[in-house]
Amino acid sequence: MFEQSHSPYNPFRISVAPMMDWTDRHCRTFHRLLTKHTRLYTEMVTTGALLHGNQPRHLDFNQAEHPVALQLGGSEPGDLAACAKLGALWGYDEINLNCGCPSERVQRGSFGACLMAEPKLVADCVKAMVETVLVPVTVKHRIGIDKSESYDFVRDFVGTVADAGCTVFIAHARNAILKGLSPKQNREVPPLKYAYVYQLKRDFPALTIVLNGGVHTTVEIQQHLAHVDGVMIGREAYQNPYWLATLDRDFFGGDGDIISRDSVEAKLAIYALEQSAHGVPRHSIMRHTLGLYRGLSGARAWRRSMSQQPAWAA
């Protein structure tokens, strides 16, 4: 039903961002039906949840999801190394450290965007993971925190962490405001500064620099790829998922064939039936697909039917 990626292109060229409550394994399986090569990321998993919780629940994934990365949240080098090892043993293609989430709950755990204020600690965390696993260890971060508006802040952060062995940086081109803004507002209110991310690539040409934030169209991706190595798509990939079906053709040398929505729906039906045998509610899968027919006549009725009882499930 699925095909794995064997693209000759930079594996970080196009990716879908890790998004809490959204990019679970069912969402990623759906996205993989649409695109063979786009890199996928888990929701953030904290080190505490992995070391003291239900590991299979957090780490199990469909083998068809490759290439897929595990995003970790944490700030203790030993714990992160242990969790990176778990991720590598489970078969993930990359271990990503979250240094970009601005939520107060995450800050209370002393990780996420607040880690940008401690680049040496992040470097220690990266070093511990790099010395433990063979898969790439990457960092997702902001361009600054609170009122740190200077480009020098993110440049020095990247330089310090790169010295510890990280070669891939995914930069959300906004500051993270740690107090006073919700996570949703942090995705919208701080201004986008793409020039800072472009400058990172000029200053660190040997590193892989991926841009994230406010990307909604193929033209925008093309414009950014003139300056950086990769582009990470966020909410647009979730809210308008059929766009993903064009990415292999447009950015990975695909043959031009684009899977039809009907074919995607038919494969989803098979997947949902397989999962139902393991006790997975259909809504847990189909809630991720509500944008499949976005912009087309009848899309509202389709969303309503998927939110209730799919016709093929009767």
Question: What positions carry a catalytic annotation?
Answer: 101
* Secondary structure (DSSP) of 59-96: H---GGG-SEEEEEE---HHHHHHHHHHHHHHT-SEEE
Helices 261-276 and 25-34 sit at what angle, rounded to 10 degrees? 150
**What are phi and psi for residue 177, nearest 5 degrees?**
-95, 110
Going by C-beta distance under 8 Å and a sequence separation of 6 or more, which residues neighbour residue 79? 47, 48, 51
Going by C-beta distance under 8 Å and a sequence separation of 6 or more, which residues neighbour residue 45? 58, 59, 70, 71, 72, 73, 83
User: How far apart are alpha carbons 83 and 51 in whole angstroms?
Assistant: 7
Q: Tokens standing for 153?
A: 């802040």
* Secondary structure (DSSP) of 133-157: -SS-EEEEEEEEETT---HHHHHHH
User: How far apart are alpha carbons 231 and 129 in whole angstroms?
Assistant: 24
Cβ(144)–Cβ(183) below 8 Å:
no
User: How far apart are alpha carbons 114 and 141 in whole angstroms?
Assistant: 10
CB atoms inside a 10 Å sphere around CB 194: 19
What residues pair up with 232 in beta bridges, in sequence order? 15, 212
Largest CA distance in the chain: 59
Give yes or no for a cis peptide into 191 (omega within 30° of 0): no
Cβ(176)–Cβ(99) below 8 Å:
no
Among residues 165, 172, 175, which one has the least CA distance to residue 231? 172
